[in-house]
Structure 1
Amino acid sequence: MTLRLPSTEGGMHTYTPRSEPARFTAGGPPLASRTVFAAAHVVADPYADTSPDAPAAVDWDATLAFRRHLWSHGLAVAEAMDTAQRGMGLDWTGAAELIRRSAAEAKAVGGRIACGVGTDQLAPGAASLEDVRTAYEEQLALVEETGAQAILMASRALATVATAPDDYLGVYAHLLRRAAEPVVLHWLGPMFDPALKGYWGSTDLDAATEAFLQVIAEHPDKVDGIKISLLDAGRETELRRRLPAGVRCYTGDDFHYPELIAGDEQGFSHALLGVFDPLGPLAAEAVRVLDTGDTKGFRELLDPTVELARHLFRSPTRFYKTGVVFLAWLAGHQDHFTMVGGLQSARSLPHLARAYELADGLGLFPDPVRAEARMRSLLSVYGVHP
């Protein structure tokens, strides 16, 4: 059987899907040499009568089942991050419920979880530095109450109100003093969220890096690690080498993750990646190979996934969530291709078709026949008769 698929270059082409199912099975020894978080998506309730600007309607059973899937492969879950559509369909009320439910599920199954702490309960444009601190404190308290680790996310409100690096230093110093346990600091670049341009007080990345490192240097006992999402492998490697002893670097670079996780003679990055939502089982297997000291085998498994990752995260990068949820549907982790906020419409049919081809070629689908059938059903909605 073949499919006629629209090409990203225009026109149609013929693709022959694979017939062999994914070979990645759950279980296996715990990941040892690297700490690996998959930032997980949320599953929308497709039967809710809602609209793009209404509160998110979440299918909690399917959402939690997907987290159990990630935990079953030995991965940790990064919850309520931008992959879960924070600020792009999921508001703070929905995120708070997601954190509570996922943290409880983590306790029940023995999974590791860290949750995003931000300021998205603030109305746009109605914030002061004190408002930002208070909003961060509210979310930090909730995450700590659940027993989850906190990830201090970049704040749109802080980026709006801050006028100099000292404003960032003051807010983060205050939060780190209040944190009960070491946190992860997250530097999310403007390619993921244009509202974060100039974070840390400067659009000059060298100057911003110095402010970021100053926060860590002044509170190393309260920083478990940093997540860098700038899609710049060289900058991440340089920054990683300057971290205080005991502070980890978690790569958030969905373009260069194999080389950054593999590392070099001076160190390596752990991982906290949105692309490990669809790649979770394969990524876990690759890290287990790396645990044996086989860097070459690790790269042989993970390097071929980069083409898919770069496709999913192509500009405008912030819409990568659409491809992530699309692949979850094809893989059978949910019964529909619907997203909170209606974001399923954020990528074109040719983009989704190419994502299907690349994922199928990697053998990511547990049931390739089902994935093909679902791809055919989507094509028919667009008037394509494969």
Structure 2
Amino acid sequence: ASQSLVWTPLNTAGEPRPIDINLSEPMNFSVFEERMRNLDKYAGVEVSVIGKSAMGRNIYMVKVAPGGEEGKPIIMLSGNVHAREFAGADYLTKILNDTIRKAQTDPKTRSLLDKVVIVAVPLVNPDGREMIINGGNRNRKSNANGVDLNRAMPSANAGQLSKGVKRVKNFSTKPGLYFFAGYNLGSESETRAMIKWFDYYVPKAFVYIDLHQQGGSQYYNKPFSSAKSDSLSKDFAKRINLLLKKGYRLVSESKYFGLNGDGGTMTDYARSVAEGFRYSYAYGRLTLGIDGEETPLVVFKDIDDRMQYYNPANASFRAVTIEIGRSPSYLGAGSRARALRKREYKKYGWDGFLTGVIGNVLALQPQ
């Protein structure tokens, strides 16, 4: 599904400033860009523009690899694909800033960063977020075109309805605040940027973590994926839960997820790529090759029933969705929401999230 890979490094000149990020203070897109430029000034950090939003805002990737990239496990991170779920961009920006800054003077932190490659897209949906900041509807999940980017990925399980399965209520056939997958999967500028990012990194990455904001939990399984793949992701979710003081319980997706009109999320797409599904121009989504035919998921429902055709692109890949926040009060740009998110960050130890994830990744490497 990818075209040519054109990512533009910022190459920001000058020395980085030590920035203290206070989560109770607002972060509009201008402030976010300033923080991206500052991160780009650190040695071993490269910030690139990997695409544009519908309204022309930059979508940034932060790559942290002070020890070089060759042979290092890759950790993928993303956030704020849903406009109202500010915690993703806020937390990732602070985590990256604080960890990189600490590594300048703390040998232990520097040693951890030297051993991995981190690639992060902290703000997938800059337009939707900025619309809320500027007074738009606080419930918006969609981008500026009214497309829910986390339903619009052309994953194996995107928006199909299996015979005898009731269609999910959270489904829309027209642009709006949420749940509209677009007239064609993957057609938004933001989804095109993310497709290229996933297609490039998933085949060689160790883990992908996507930050959302819907109730103190983690999703780890994909009903269409292999049992082994789900087991790897479940194990990593358990590790994250321990790392974050048991604040994010594990939740299992419904067995009909992706067969009931739902699906098409970022993690759905990443897991589809890892499991060896390939893009079909005929079906407009990733499909499985069965006896030389492009076969959509709705035909076979679960790769475990077709293991003779299982040819994963990355058999050791894990993907986890973390849902930050405890109620709708945590959503959006308001001062109370910011204060609640700041309190959660401290309560569950998010300041040690990245170094803890790195520690777990290194512990799981083959000896």
TM > 0.5: no
TM-score by length of 1: 0.30
Larger radius of gyration: 1
TM-score by length of 2: 0.31
User: In proportion to residue count, which structure has more helix?
Assistant: 1
